[in-house]
Amino acid sequence: MQITTISKLQSNITKGWAILAVITIHTMAYFPGLFDRSTYQWLTVGLDQAARFCVPAFLIVSGYGLAVKYSDQSVAGGAFVWDRLKKLLPLYLLWSGVAVLLMKLVPEWVYFNQPRSLVVQLLLGQADYQMYFVPLLFQLYVFFPMIWRGRKHLSWWLGFGLLMQLFLFWRFSLSTGTSERFQYVLGLSWIFYFILGMWLARHKLPKIFEGGLPMLIGLVLSYGIVGSIKAINNGLDPLQALKFTRVPVLLYGTLASFALLYGGKQSGKSWLARKEWLVWLGERSYVIFLAHTMGLRLLYGLFTGVPSFSMWMVIAGIWGATVWFSFRLR
Task: Please enumerate in sequence order all residues whose Cβ is within 8 A of that of 128, keeping only pairs 6 or more positions apart, or say none.
Answer: 95, 96, 99, 111, 293, 294
- CA distance linking residue 119 with residue 114, whole number of Å: 12
Q: Please give the share of the chain, as a percent, with pLDDT higher than 70.
A: 93
Task: Please enumerate in sequence order all residues whose Cβ is within 8 A of that of 79, keeping only pairs 6 or more positions apart, or say none.
Answer: none
Q: pLDDT tens digits for 223-262?
A: 999 999 999 999 999 999 999 999 999 999 999 999 999 8
Q: pLDDT tens digits for 2-31?
A: 466 888 999 999 999 999 999 999 999 998
List the helix and strand counts (H, then E) for the chain. Answer: 17, 0
Out of 58-62, 120-124, 204-208, 306-310, pick the least confident.
Answer: 204-208
Considering the domain boundaries, does residue 97 fall inside one? no
- pTM of whole model > 0.85? yes
Q: pLDDT tens digits for 187-236?
A: 999 999 999 999 999 988 877 676 788 999 999 999 999 999 999 999 99
Q: How many domains are there within the chain?
A: 1
pLDDT at 269 over 90: no
Q: pLDDT tens digits for 114-159?
A: 998 999 999 999 999 999 999 999 999 999 999 999 999 999 999 9
Considering the domain boundaries, does residue 111 fall inside one? no
Tell me the residue range of the domain where 144 lies: 8-87+130-305
What mean pLDDT comes out for the span 42-50? 98
Considering the domain boundaries, does residue 55 fall inside one? yes
Considering the domain boundaries, does residue 67 fall inside one? yes
- CA distance linking residue 269 with residue 142, whole number of Å: 37
Determine the pLDDT at residue 264. 56
Map residue 82 onto helix, strand or coil: helix
Considering the domain boundaries, does residue 32 fall inside one? yes
Considering the domain boundaries, does residue 224 fall inside one? yes
Determine the pLDDT at residue 268. 47
- The CA-based angle 69-151-244, given to 5 degrees, is 80
Considering the domain boundaries, does residue 83 fall inside one? yes
